[in-house]
A and B are shown apart, each in its own frame.
Chain A
C-alpha cells in the first residue's frame, strides 16, 4: 500500500487551469487497478504466511482482498454504479481463472508424464510379445521402454470411423425428418422424446446393449470392433440428431420457399439448398460428437475386449482402443513388479488421445470455416 501512495503524487500531475467537464465524474488513474492487485498480492502473501503458507490460501486471500479493495476504491472515486460494475467484472474474471485451473492442470500433467513415453517406437509398435519379463529387463538395463500403442491407435481410429459411418446417416436423416417432414406430428414428438432418452443412456448400458444384441445373433463371445462401433453409435446418434436438428432449424424458411417457387422438388431443396447452407454447423456438430465418444472406455471393454496385437479387421477378433489400453496398463501392469514402463505407456497414450481430440476440434473449426456460406463481393 505504501507503494501506491508514493506513486499518487508523481504519476498524476493535474493539467493546469482546465475547465472541469460537468458531464464527467471522477476517474481512477490507469495504474490504480494494477497497483491494487499488487497490494492485494503482497498482503495476501503476508496473511498466508501468518497462517502457515500455502499456495491455495495465498491465492484465495489475494483474490478476496483484490475484489474488495478494487470495489471500494472504484465506488469511492467513480461512484456506486461503477463500483458494482468493477466488483462483478473482477468476480467473473476470477471464475474464468478458476475454471481454467483444472484444464491447465490436466494439460500440464499429461504433457509432463506423457512426453517421455512419446516416440516413434511407441506410435508404431504394438504390445505384441511385450511381457512382464521384457519390462523387468528394460528396468534392469535402463534401456528405453519397449512396446507401444499402435494397435490401440488403429483400434480407436477404426472403431470411431465405423461408429461415425453408422451414426451420421442415421442421425442426419432423423434430423431431416424431424425438421423438414415431421411438422411436430405425433411421430416426430415420439422421436424427439426417445432421442432425449437416448442422450441420457449411460455408456456402459450402450455397450451391454451392443454386446447382448450381437450375442443373440452371433452367439456368446461375439466380441469385435464392429460391436464396439455399434455401441458407440448408440451414444453418438442422439448428439448428431440434436446438433443437425438445430442447424437445419436456423436455415431461413425464405430459402426453402425461394427454391419451391422455382419449381424445385422438396427433396432436392433439402439436398441442394438446406443442407449446403447448414453443412458447416452439421460438420462441426458431427466432429464434436466423435470427440465425445472417442474417449469411451467401458462400452469398448464389453464389446471389443482387449488385445495386445495389431488387428485392423473390425469384423473379427478382439481390439484395443486408446482408452482401454490406458485402463489396462494402469490396472494390470504388464510386469507386476516393475510398473513404471506400463505407467509411462499409459500416460503417453493419454497424451495421444488428448492430441487426437484436440485435432478433431481444430478440424471441426476448419471444416466449419471451409463450408461456411461464402462472403465477399
Chain B
C-alpha cells in the first residue's frame, strides 16, 4: 500500500479543483458539487493534461447507485425467510448445553427454552423461495431477489453490530459504506447530496450518525440526513422574510463581491465558494422538488401505501426511488423497531413484529417493482437487512420466563436480501444449521459483503484505501479477511 498516496491525492484533488475551476469557470459556475471533493469530477480529470489519480471505478460497474434498507434492531430471520421445520420440533424444550457453550448473549442466561418459528411459511415464485405469511406483498417479488441466509457477524450488541455492518469496524471512527462510495465514485447529481440518509420509526440507529459518518475520511463524504417532514435538507428553506426572488438578488450581489475578492486576493478557493452558493441555491429548488411526494400519482401512492407529509418507511421508499431517478449515488434508509426481545409489546415477536412487517412489506415490494418498471433496477443495487439475527431460543430475561414472546440477539446467523445492480435474481445463497442458529455453508461476513458490494460498484476493495492510524484503511477492513461472494452475481 502506498502510505503517501492519500495525502498526495488530497493535495492533488485540491489543486485539481482549482485548476479545473480556473479553466472552466468562464463556462458558468456549474460542475462542482462539493468543492474540494474533486474526485466527483474525475470524468474531466481524465481529459485534462494533469495526472490526477482516478480513485474508482477500477473496472466497469454493474451498479451505479445503492439503496440500502437497514432494518435496525435485527429482524428475526426465523420468522421471515429462514424456514426451520426442525426448530418447531424443539419448541418449548430446554436448550441443550452444547448450544450454549462458549456463547455470549445480551440477555439470555442460564438454560433458555427453544422457540419454534411463530408463523407459517410457504414457497413462492418460480424460484420457490421460502417466505413467511408476514410478508404477503413481498412474496410476489421473490424472483427478483437474491437471499443470503448465511450472514454472520462478530457483534451481539446493536451499536457495535451496526457499525460493523456499515463501516467495517465495530468501533467508532471508521468511514461508512456510503462515505467510501462517495470517496471512490463521487456524485453524479450536481444539485443534490450524493449520499442521502432517511430515517423512520422515530429513532436514529443505535450507533447514531456514525453509521453514515465519514470517520477518518474527509467529512465532506458523510451522509446527509434528509427528512420526509419539514425541510428535506437541514436549512434548505429561506429564513422568514426572504423570498426566492430576494435570495436570488442577494446572491447576485454576493457573487459580484466575492468575484472582486478573488481579483483582490487571487485565492481560487473564492471561486469555489461562489459556485457552492449557486449550488445551494439550485439545491433549494431541486431538493424541494425531489422530496415533494405530492407530485406522484394516486396509483403510485396506492402501490407504496404512502401519505405525503408523514415520516414513514413507505414515504422513504418512494423518496428513495425519486432520488435514484435523480442519480443520487447512495440512499440509505433506516427503519427502527426490529429488536424483538419480547420485553415489551412493541418489541415482541407476537406483537410489535407484526407492525414492523406491515410497515415495510408493501413499500419495499413497491420499490422493487417500481424501480424495475422504470428500468432503474438494472443499475441500482438494493440491499435489505439488519445488523444481526435472532436466537432460536426464547429470551428469558432475568433468568425467568417472560410474558411476551421474544428472541435475543444472534450474531451467528441472519438473512439479508439483495436485488438489481448485477445481483443474480431468484436465488438463495448459503445455509444455516437445522435450527437457524449458525451460518454453516457459504458463510458471508460483513467484510465479505463489503468486498462483494463494492465489486458491483466497480470498486476493488483492496484498492480503495485511505491512510489512517498508520494503515491503508478500507471498507472491507484491512485487518480482517474478506472474499467476494461471486455466487451473488448475475
Q: Judge: A and B partners, yes or no.
A: no
Residue numbers of A with Cβ under 8 A of B are none
Interface residues of B (CB under 8 A from A): none
